[in-house]
Amino acid sequence: MKSKYLILTPLFSVMAMGTTYGQNNSVYMSENSEIENQIKIPSKKSLKEFRHLDLEVSGGSTGIGVELDFVANPWVTVRAGATYMPKFHKTIHCKAQIGEDEKTTYDEDGQRLPTRFEKMADLLEDFIGTPVDAVVAMDATPSFYNAKFLVDVYPFKNEHWHFTGGFYYGKSHVATAINKGSELPSLMAINLYNRMYDNGGEITDGFSLPPEYLRRLLTYGRAGIHVGNYTHDIMAVDSETGEEYILHAKGDPYMMVPNADNLVFAKAYVNKFRPYFGFGYTSLLGKHQKWGIGFDLGGMFWGGAPKLIDHSGVDLMYDVEDIKGNVGDYVRLARHIKAFPVLELRIKRRLF
């Protein structure tokens, strides 16, 4: 009898352990099912339903664009496309002058007296045959297009709001400001005047200015557009000795003169690679949800303030300060813009 009890005791123990494990396991499975229902983890079949391809067009601060959107899963959409900024023109004005310290003066009756440039304008007009104007008009035009690769992450239950990260990539030259064609006579007159000044009043071999104009010429100084003042010493290298010397000292006026083609211009440059961060909203429309709308708001980071380099190689952003007129207003604004603001409205069509 004792031997039977010895044999049955371990058997009952194993059966009791199995019963307890089964009860605990049922409780665990029940709790796990409740957790899965709360998290709503999609099955493989439901994940496949989210693998769609959308065609999208957009418009906004980056121009007009087109892109393809791959909906990888309920939380992530990958977008790739391109944007192009249509060309438009914004007119800005610069004022030419003769001498670095030309100032507006008035007579005893309060009437404005002619400036040095205006006094010499009649002489210059006689040489080139057309009127000469001290105000030079320039056309500013964007040249801005990008390829882009973006990833949208939808962290919220409503699946509409998203955060976006990625990058834009395009050429570094993004805008140009150049004189209008109607300004060529005035710019030609500036170059002609400076040539006479540099040659001591001699126009061609054996022909010089009349004495009354020659006195003014040698007294007034060179002509140009007083853009602003240098922010630091501008160094140059002596071609004979190889030694550096100060070409323009800090605080000296920067007088921009036309190039050999009688043109003045400046070009804006930024980094080619431009990271993007932002957020947005997307919503599908209709019963079959084939169409959708959305928007993006964020910043395209182009590596600090842009460079604005004129035809003589001077960077108006970093080499010059106290820039005059509306040109100065634009430059001061651009110095504070470290990232390009992006606002895009999007319309999408589901392909499959």
Q: How confident is the model at residue 312 (pLDDT cuts 50, 70, 90)?
A: very high
More confident: 347 or 192: 347
The pLDDT mean for the chain works out to 81
pLDDT at 119: 77
For 35, the 3-state DSSP assignment is helix
Q: Which tens digits make up the pLDDT trace of 256-271?
A: 999 999 999 999 999 9
User: What is the extent of the structural domain holding 298?
Assistant: 47-350
pLDDT at 16: 43
Q: Is residue 25 part of a domain?
A: no
Helices 116-128 and 184-198 cross at an angle (nearest 10°) of 100
Mean pLDDT of 220-229: 88
Return d(Cα 113, Cα 111) in angstroms, integer.
6
More confident: 20 or 193: 193
Which regions of 186-335 does DSSP assign to beta strands (E)?
Answer: 202-204, 207-208, 223-230, 234-237, 244-248, 253-256, 265-269, 273-285, 291-301, 307-310, 320-321
- The DSSP secondary-structure symbol of 127 reads H
Record the tokens describing residue 60, joined without a space: 């906004």
Return d(Cα 237, Cα 215) in angstroms, integer.
33
pLDDT at 151: 96
Q: Is the pLDDT of residue 345 over 50?
A: yes
For 191, the 3-state DSSP assignment is helix
Q: Which of 7-11, 108-112, 213-217, 295-299 has the highest mean pLDDT?
A: 295-299
Q: Is residue 63 part of a domain?
A: yes
Q: Which tens digits make up the pLDDT trace of 43-99?
A: 444 445 557 888 999 999 999 999 999 988 888 999 999 999 998 888 988 888 888
Report whether 202 contacts 196 (CB < 8 A). yes
Q: How confident is the model at residue 10 (pLDDT cuts 50, 70, 90)?
A: very low
For 87, the 3-state DSSP assignment is coil
pLDDT at 159: 78
Q: Is residue 101 part of a domain?
A: yes
pLDDT at 74: 80
Closest among 41, 116, 109 to 75, alpha carbons compared: 41
Return d(Cα 264, Cα 195) in angstroms, integer.
17
Q: Is residue 328 part of a domain?
A: yes
* Least-confidence region, from 40-44, 70-74, 187-191, 209-213: 40-44
Q: Is the pLDDT of residue 23 over 60?
A: no
Q: Is residue 320 part of a domain?
A: yes
Report whether 58 contacts 65 (CB < 8 A). yes
Q: Is the pLDDT of residue 299 over 80?
A: yes
Q: How confident is the model at residue 273 (pLDDT cuts 50, 70, 90)?
A: very high
pLDDT at 325: 82
Number of domains, the chain = 1
pLDDT at 60: 94
Mean pLDDT of 206-214: 70
Q: Is residue 310 part of a domain?
A: yes
Q: Is the pLDDT of residue 9 over 60?
A: no
Q: Which residues contact 209 (CB under 8 A, 6 or more apart)?
A: 123, 196, 201, 203, 217
Closest among 150, 145, 178, 149 to 163, alpha carbons compared: 150
Q: Is residue 12 part of a domain?
A: no
More confident: 304 or 44: 304
Q: How confident is the model at residue 39 (pLDDT cuts 50, 70, 90)?
A: very low
pLDDT at 101: 67
Q: How confident is the model at residue 31 (pLDDT cuts 50, 70, 90)?
A: very low
Q: Which tens digits make up the pLDDT trace of 115-164?
A: 888 877 877 777 777 888 888 999 999 988 999 999 999 998 877 899 99
pLDDT at 248: 87
More confident: 71 or 206: 71
